[in-house]
Amino acid sequence: MSQLFSPYQLGGLSLANRIVIAPMCQYSAQDGCATDWHTIHLGHLALSGAGLLIIEATAVEPDGRISPFDVGLWSDETEAALGKALHSARAWSDMPIAIQLAHAGRKASVAQPWRGGGQLGLDEGGWNVHAPSSVGFETYPRPPRALTTDDIARLCEAFADSARRSVRLGLAAIELHGAHGYLMHQFLSPLSNRREDAYGGSLENRMRFPLEVYDAVRSVVPAGYPVGFRISGTDWVEGGWDMEQSLAFAKVIKARGADFIHVSSGGLSAAQAIPLGPSYQVPMARAIKQETGIATIAVGLITEPEQAEAIVGTGEADLIGLARGILYNPRWPWHAAAQLGASIKAPNQYLRSQPRQYSKLFA
């Protein structure tokens, strides 16, 4: 039996298989509100047969958006717009849908990738950004303002408010974005956090804000509701965040009750030197799983069914995250199930597409 297509229990959430659609920014919202593009995007991914779909990085306040076109969940209007897209997807799919709550910090206020992705000027629709310290992202000309302790308390409540809205929308789980150089990662890494108060300096202090966010979110969701973190296992820069610190963080959040950790890497510094290759981030997920026992999602150049099967089957990770690969091939889970001799759920309207040689593919 394929391990990739075996069921998995994530906190109080039952997943049909181990395939997770990782959050992928679409830069297609209007004033934080999901649009028809999100209805199409989430709808077709919800028909893919994956075990879980996680909505893209969703800002908890307007200044926390990466670009002016990011999805948000900070108001009744943004909640209603996302609810509309979810309603359409759920009309045709029972796939669990989760959300990633995020704040971009010093990496906010940039153009869409297909328009260069650089920091927008204040006369171009951009805004002044904030961060743990007044240390800017290397390629952006406008430096951030350092957050005050009052700002930090306000942001914790903003995450909690977005979590409440997530629960009201019926979302199945919450992933907190502490990776890719965004705000919580900025607090964690000594490269971006130069504070001299209780939120900077030692590892314990640098972990304080992400842990306070976690506690604020956990306090407003129901018992058994899955909450986890996405982290960058390493900055890939000497003197930055690394696996030793990631292991320490994973132990602390597991002790606090976190249900999973989604292991990525990089994104904080333009000086990063990433050794790209198939499964290049999987060893980090394996180390965290072995050291802490927390449920792990592995992601990063996992493209082949046998590759994914081996990762899960050998216990390197509990779940597999697919991102760009499932945009390129939205039926990747179908093809993987066919190749691995498993069965998968497909919508009634597509049952006639089952190839004759895979007569037992569609459950």
pLDDT for res 151 = 98
Give Rg (Cα) of the chain.
20
CATH code of 60's domain: 3.20.20.70
Half-sphere exposure of 335 (CA within 13 A, CB side): 12
pLDDT at 139 over 90: no
Nearest 5 degrees, angle CA 81-CA 87-CA 91? 160
**pLDDT value at position 333?**
98
pLDDT score for 138: 84
pLDDT at 167: 98
* Domain of 83, in residue numbers: 8-358
* pLDDT at residue 160 in the model: 98
The whole-angstrom separation of Cα 342 and Cα 4 is 9
How confident is the model over 69-110, as pLDDT tens digits? 999 999 999 999 999 999 999 999 999 999 999 999 999 999
- DSSP characters over 228-250: EEEEES--SSTTS--HHHHHHHH
Considering the domain boundaries, does residue 3 fall inside one? no
Active site members = 182
Rounded mean pLDDT of 235-256?
98
For residue 256, pLDDT beyond 90: yes
Read off the pLDDT of each residue in 219-235 and give the average, rounded to a whole number: 98
User: Would you say residue 181 lies in a domain?
Assistant: yes
Check residue 363 and give its pLDDT.
85
* Long-range own/partner contacts, residues 192-198 (CB < 8 A, 24 or more apart): 192/106, 192/131, 192/132, 192/133, 192/135, 192/268, 193/132, 193/133, 194/132, 194/133, 194/135, 195/132, 195/133, 195/146, 197/149, 198/149
> Residue 274 to residues 40, 121, 300: CA-CA distances in angstroms?
33, 30, 12
295-349 confidence digits (pLDDT tens): 999 999 999 999 999 999 999 999 999 999 999 999 999 999 999 999 999 999 9
> Residue 33 pLDDT more than 90?
yes
pLDDT score of 163: 99
Pairing of strands 52-59, 97-102: parallel
Total domains in the chain come to 1
Among 113, 10, 18, which Cα is nearest to 344's? 18
Token pair of 216, please? 């604020």
* Total residues belonging to the chain: 363
23 lies in a domain? yes
pLDDT at 7: 98
Supply the DSSP string of 46-115, one letter for each residue.
Answer: TTS--SEEEEEEEESSGGG-SSTT--B-SSHHHHHHHHHHHHHHHTT----EEEEEE--GGG-SB--GGG
What's the rounded Cα separation, in Å, for the pair 173 and 204? Answer: 27
In a domain, 212, yes or no: yes
Residue 326, both tokens: 């499932």
Residues 6 or more apart in contact with residue 115 via CB below 8 angstroms: none
| Percent of the chain's residues with pLDDT above 90 | 99
Question: Per-residue pLDDT tens for 115-125?
Answer: 999 999 999 99
Residue 155 lies inside a defined structural domain of this protein = yes
Does the predicted model carry a pTM greater than 0.95?
Answer: yes
In a domain, 235, yes or no: yes
Is there a domain that residue 312 lies in?
Answer: yes
In whole angstroms, what separates CA 141 from the centre of its chain? 27
- Name the token pair of 223: 């018992």
- 1 in a domain, yes or no? no
Q: Where are the alpha helices (DSSP H) in the chain?
A: 36-45, 76-90, 149-168, 183-188, 203-206, 208-218, 243-255, 282-292, 305-313, 324-328, 332-340
